[in-house]
Structure 1
Amino acid sequence: MATIELTGDTFTETIENNDIVLVDFWAAWCGPCRQFAPVFEEASNKHEDIVFAKVDTDAEQELAAAANIQSIPTLMAFRDGLMVFSNSGVLPANAVDDLIRQIRELPMDDIRAQMEAEAKGAAPAGGGCGCGGCNCGANNG
């Protein structure tokens, strides 16, 4: 599957209506972004069940600001509408493949329970998803 361009108008709908979405925040003038682009495109061809999307931070400045993008490239991963990973910098192909494997294996029911408990001010039993690579709060990696 080829990558798609996201805008402020399509971002939320894309995240909410797909199981797994990887978003590359980039700009044309950014050397590291150009370096990461073929890695991202290759991954999109290998993992056709995942939505691979790009956000041009120059064209979508409000969206980049809302996503708190501080440097580019930034890769964000969403599963079931939740951001589970965010990283600035270039990732090699094997790291992207490993990230995708980890995202597929995430125990989403446990993560949702943890988020609900944190929202209520209590920690869940068991203490996290254990993935070590996401922003779910487990940080066991």
Structure 2
Amino acid sequence: MSTTALTMDTFEKTVTGGGIVLVDWWASWCGPCRRFAPVFEQASERHADIVFAKVDTEAEQQLAAAARISSIPTLMAFRDGILVFSQPGALPSAALEELVAAVRGLDMEEVRGKIAQQSGSGEPAAA
């Protein structure tokens, strides 16, 4: 598996699909982004069941603004269409593997319940 380039047209469909989607927000002029790129690519080879996607913040400025990206690289993790992790900074390989394991281990019913509580309804949103 390799990484997928996301655009304004493909972002929402990709991250709201089922399963796990990791999104790397980057730019070609960014040194930490260039150092993180091979780590992200190698992880995509190890985890064929996960979508590894990249957003070039220079080419997709409107998308980066909509996602409120203020620092790059930023890594986001979505599971079953829900943003479960977002953090700026390049991760070393071991930390990326820990993140993958943590996202895989999430109890999504619990996550949905917490989201429902935070929204004030106290009830999980209908699917």
For 1:120 and 1:92, the matched residues in 2 are separated by 37
Which residue in 2 is equivalent to 1:103? 103
Question: Which protein has greater RCO, CA pairs closer than 8 Å, 6+ apart?
Answer: 2
User: Alignment identity in percent?
Assistant: 58
Which residue in 1 is equivalent to 2:74? 74
Q: CA deviation at 1:98?
A: 0.4
Q: CA deviation at 1:64?
A: 0.3
1:82-138 alpha-carbon deviations (Å, 9 max, x no partner) = 00001111100000000000000001101101111211265xxxxxxxxxxxxxxxx
Contact conserved, 1:21 with 1:53, CA < 8 A, in 2?
yes
SS of the aligned residue for 2:119 comes to helix
For 1:117 and 1:31, the matched residues in 2 are separated by 40
Uncovered stretches (5+) of structure 2, i.e. residues with no partner: 123-127
1:24-79 alpha-carbon deviations (Å, 9 max, x no partner) = 00000101000000000000000000000000000000100111101100000000
| Aligned 1:1-141 pairs, distance under 5 A | 1-120=1-120
Moved over 3 A (4+): none
For 2:117 and 2:101, the matched residues in 1 are separated by 26
SS of the aligned residue for 1:120 comes to coil
Q: CA deviation at 1:18?
A: 3.1
For 1:2 and 1:24, the matched residues in 2 are separated by 13
Uncovered stretches (5+) of structure 1, i.e. residues with no partner: 123-141
Q: TM-score, normalised by structure 2?
A: 0.94
For 1:80 and 1:51, the matched residues in 2 are separated by 12
Count of residues in correspondence between the two structures: 124
